Amino acid sequence: MAVKTLNVGDLSPDLVFQTLTKQGLDASQAASFVGEWLVATYGTAERRFDFIVALSETDPAAVATFQRSFVHKDWEDGVSMVQASETPGELGFNARFHLIEADLDALARDTANGLVSLAALRKQVHDALAEVRAELNRLNADVGRLGGGQKAPFGGPSGPIFQGGTLVGKTVFNGKAMQIWQTNQGAMLLPDLVTVDPSLATNPRSQRVGALYQYLMENPSVRQAFPAAVSKTDVVKKFGGERTGDGTLVRDLLGTLPDDGQYANLDALAQDVADREAAALRTTSGAVDAISEALGADAVGGDASKVSVDTLDILAPAARQVLRQAGVDTLAQLAQLSPGRISELAAKDRTGQFTAGDIARASGQARLVVKFR
């Protein structure tokens, strides 16, 4: 008799399992996912639940080994000799204290071993409960089908993996970012897919670059402290604990730089941050295209650096007008502005709508965009 091949679309259960683990699920989650699909798709034959991740009854490593070595012999006033060195009749302070040290070290080893075992047990219990939850969901699906009220949580081989639902939020499960979806079959955990924010105003990488340039413009004390050569370590040590206007720590803005980074000056340091954040965006699938499209790069042949400064909503209309009057028409020209030139342009404002820091922020983000080419 021919054996029926079980597939999810064009994938076998083994390939589905491998795909899920590559997307961030651990073996227990992936196996539960595949098992739930198989049961929902191919019937409800009698089954026996067993844990995929074994939870041992005992842990041979979780054994106390401490045995006290120090025993104090009472001293007598006016009789006992108090001394540092050991003699036939007296251990002396040195030997006594060393015995106490040895006892403390042994206690520390037992305590550390206990904490490691407790952490491992917590992980095992967590995984076991996840498997129990998956089994309960399968039972719930069986009951729902018998009652005729619910559809199976997964479609057939040619159907969708799961029915539509509402994104409730995100969480961290087993160290992995996960999305929580509420469906008509109940709550589901799915791997959190990488999404790209196409707006320069809100994209995290763009925000960090802009915030750094704005911080350097608005805090002259930084340039006073480092007028020439500077390292990342120097800046973090002196100013890393300060916060920018949006609450970000300065040391977090420099997170992409190597710890041993050395630079000719602060401008070179800031430029390296922009270069590295731009490189990260270039290697993120769809990021450059999404941001370029949001900026309207299609109108200038797809080159985002040629986009007009008028597209930057992060700049007040008065700031964009001052830039255009000064011949700064494109993002490429905005990216070339020096701190001194930015100060000159900001001084022309008579509306109070923007500051030198605002232009510096936009200039920093423009430096990121020009690296898309």
Give the pLDDT confidence of 153-183 residue by residue, as tens digits.
433 333 344 444 566 666 666 666 676 666 6
> Does residue 12 register a pLDDT over 80?
no
pLDDT band at 266 (very low <50, low <70, confident <90, very high): very high
3-state secondary structure of 203: coil
**Average pLDDT along the chain:** 77
Q: What string of DSSP letters covers 287-354?
A: HHHHHHHHHTGGGGTT-GGGSBGGG-TTS-HHHHHHHHHTT--BHHHHHT--HHHHHHHHTT--SSS-
Q: How far is the C-alpha of 41 from the C-alpha of 35, rounded, in Å?
A: 10
Q: Give the mean pLDDT of 314-326.
A: 87
**Bigger pLDDT: 327 vs 204:** 327
How is the chain split into domains, by residue range?
Answer: 13-160, 204-372
Q: CA torsion 173→175→179→183, rounded to 10°? A: -20
* Distances, alpha carbon 227 to alpha carbons 221, 265, 274, in Å: 10, 7, 20
pLDDT of 246 above 60: yes
Whole-number Å distance between alpha carbons of 295 and 15: 40
- Nearest Cα residue to 357 out of 335, 339, 330: 339
Q: Tell me how crowded residue 211 is: count the other CB atoms within 10 A of its CB.
A: 24
64 has a pLDDT exceeding 60: yes
Q: Region 344-360: what's the mean pLDDT?
A: 87
Average pLDDT over residues 296-316: 82
pLDDT of residue 161: 45
Give the per-residue pLDDT at 302: 81
Q: Averaged over 140-153, what is the pLDDT?
A: 58
The CA distance from 36 to 32, in Å, is 6
Instruction: Look at residue 233 in the predicted model and tell me its pLDDT.
Output: 92
211-235 pLDDT per residue, tens: 999 999 999 999 999 989 999 999 9
